[in-house]
Amino acid sequence: MKLFDFSSPALRALMSGAVALAVSSGAFAHAHLISSVPAANADAVAPTEVTIHFTEPLEPAFSTITLADASGKSAVATASTVDSQDARTMHLALPPLDAGRYAVHWVAVATDGHRTQGDFAFNVK
Ligand SMILES: [Cu+2]
């Protein structure tokens, strides 16, 4: 006995609609950068941390911010954290930094498991 007639145009339309919805809601759940402190290419005076705000809550186990100095060497010995009050915000505490240009690299894993990443730089005066 056949429960569904998959050749039915109505059923096929319904199924393709469900697939389209699943794909678009998955794309929406990717975590994208909204803003950061310091901002990209900003001149920062004695920054104490890098803070990045994202569009979606993050998985703390897989989301990271790292900082490299102009020679590409890691500038921070400690790990970044996802804010315990707001999972859409990530912090990297900074030691006192010498003047120069620094590169931020971030990896954001949304709660749906999708991973986004990006880079920006700022200057320490
Ligand atoms: Cu996603």
Cα 124 to ligand 1 centroid, rounded to whole Å? 34
Ligand 1 centroid–CA 13 distance in Å is 24
Kindly tell me the burial class for residue 58, based on how many C-beta atoms sit within 10 Å of its own C-beta (0-12, 13-18, 19 or more). buried
Domain extents for the chain?
1-30, 31-124
Tell me the HSE value of 4 on the side-chain side, using a 13 A CA sphere.
Answer: 9
Residue 123 Cα to ligand 1 middle (Å): 32
Sequence-ordered list of residues with C-beta below 8 angstroms from that of 102, at least 6 positions apart, any chain? 67, 68, 69, 70, 75, 121, 122, 123, 124
CA neighbor of 119 nearest in space, from 33, 60, 43: 33
Ligand 1: distance of its center to the CA of 114 in Å?
4
| pTM score of the predicted model | 0.78
Structure tokens at 40: 């990209």
Which CATH architecture fits 31-124? Sandwich (2.60)
Render pLDDT for 27-72 as a digit per residue (tens, 0 to 9).
568 999 999 999 999 999 999 999 999 999 999 999 999 999 999 9
Instruction: State the DSSP code for 35.
Output: E
Query: What distance in Å separates the CA atoms of residue 77 and residue 79, rounded to the nearest whole number?
Result: 7
The per-residue pLDDT for range 64-118, each reduced to its tens digit, is: 999 999 999 999 999 999 999 999 999 999 999 999 999 999 999 999 999 999 9
